[in-house]
Amino acid sequence: MSSGTVADSGTGIARRPEIEPEVLAVLAAAVDQAWPRPRLTVPVESAGPPAWRFSGRWWSRPATVRRDRPWAGG
């Protein structure tokens, strides 16, 4: 048996020793510091419309307006 293990009577299976409270506290503090915390993010409102838009593009008009009408003659 290696040092730090306790043999169970009768079975021959080694058990781990009890964890000291100080070691457990240090491990819990380390996990608490390493674990990511949720953050609340507030969406930022833009000051105005975007600098570039599709407003003057041919594809921004409705499909009925974009249709070619040869009989309209105009």
> What amino acid is encoded at 18 in this protein?
E
Across the range 55-70, mean pLDDT stands at 70
Q: What element of type H or E holds 41? A: none
Q: Is 73 left (phi over 0), alpha (psi -120 to 50) or beta?
A: left
Across the range 51-70, mean pLDDT stands at 69
For residue 1, pLDDT over 50 is answered with no
Give pLDDT tens digits for 37-53.
888 888 888 777 666 66
The Cα–Cα gap between 62 and 70 comes to 18
The verdict on pTM exceeding 0.75 is no
> What amino acid is encoded at 2 in this protein?
S
> Which DSSP string do the residues of 51-70 spell out, in sequence order?
SS-STTSGGGS-HHHHS--G
Region of poorest pLDDT, from 2-11, 23-32, 45-54: 2-11
